[in-house]
Structures are given as C-alpha cells and as structure tokens.
Amino acid sequence: MQGNITLTMIKPDAMRSGYIGKILDHIVSGGFSIRAAKVLHLTHYQAEKFYLVHKDRPFYRDLVEFMSSGPILAAVLEKENAVDAFRQLIGSTDPAKAETGTIRNLYGASIQENAVHGSDSDENALIEAAFFFNQFERV
C-alpha cells in the first residue's frame, strides 16, 4: 500500500530567489495538504545527517555546503500516493531534464540547486518527516 505523506524542502536557492510563495502555491494547487511547515537554517551537521545516504557520492560535500548556505522551508505534505505524486509534480533531479511545468523545470537552477527536495520512498518520507517535526508539530 502506498503511503500518504512525503517530506519536502524548498532549498536555499529557491528561498534566495523569492520563489517560496510560487512553489507553495504550486504544491497546494497540485492537491497536497500541508500538515506541517517551518522555515529554518540547517547547520552543516544537520545537512550532513539529512543527506547521510549520499555520503559516498562525489557531490556530497558540495551538497552539504549548499543546503546549509541559507534558510530552507521544510514541510510534510499529504496526498494519496504522496511520494510518487510529489515526484511527478517536481520533475527530474536535473532541472534541465525536468518535464515542462514541473517545479524544478520552472524554478531549479542546476542539478544541485534544484529548488526542492522530495522523499524517494514511503520509508524515507517517515524518517525525513521525523527529522524535522515531532508529533505535536504535525496535524
């Protein structure tokens, strides 16, 4: 059975470019309910922890630097089959390859500075949601 939540981050590039409102509107218009949200600035350590699964990838160091370079918005989103539905809404990791009209196509700058994160599995959605929010911070 597919889960009904996913975890997103609006990344520092999109926050700096002032796309927060447009991206949230795109998400809500796409049928997702926002069950929790907050703006925060990840520390270097927190960014390392969040992306630990990528620690052996060549881009890991740069990714950690980038994700701790400025404020982000983290949110738990709800919709039927949320992980897959959200990945469709945001498009491919590389904005240059993302389908027209997807969030990364519209607002992403590069494969690293790709505007938003979306969980890649139901299991990771639960882990990532718990990374940012406790039970009293979610509805």
What are the start-end ranges of the H helices in the chain?
12-16, 20-29, 44-50, 60-67, 82-90, 103-107, 122-132
β-pair partners for 74 = 9, 38
What is the rounded distance in angstroms from the CA atom of residue 34 to the CA atom of residue 51? 23
Q: Which residues are catalytic?
A: 117
> 1 or 73: whose CB is closer to ligand CMP?
73
Question: 11, 113 in Cβ contact below 8 A?
Answer: yes
Contact pick of 93, 105, 124, 126 for ligand CMP (by CB under 6 A)? 93
CA–CA distances in Å: residue 138 to residues 32, 73, 78, 79, 82: 15, 15, 11, 15, 16
Q: Residue 86 has which token pair?
A: 């959200």
Q: Give, as ranges, the residues between 39 and 78 that touch ligand CMP (CB under 6 A).
A: 54, 59, 63
- Cβ atoms within 10 Å of 82's Cβ, excluding its own: 25
In whole angstroms, the minimum distance from the beta carbon of 47 to ligand CMP comes to 11
Q: Which of 105, 112, 126, 138 binds ligand CMP (CB under 6 A)?
A: 112
Does 79 bind ligand CMP (CB under 6 A)? Our answer is no
Q: Which stretch binds ligand CMP (CB under 6 A): 14-22, 33-41, 69-77, 106-114?
A: 106-114
Number of amino acids touching ligand CMP (CB under 6 A): 8
Q: What is the DSSP letter of 98?
A: S
Question: What would the x/- binding string for ligand CMP be over residues 3 to 42, using CB under 6 A?
Answer: ----------------------------------------
**Interface with ligand CMP by CB under 6 A: which residues?**
54, 59, 63, 93, 111-112, 114, 117
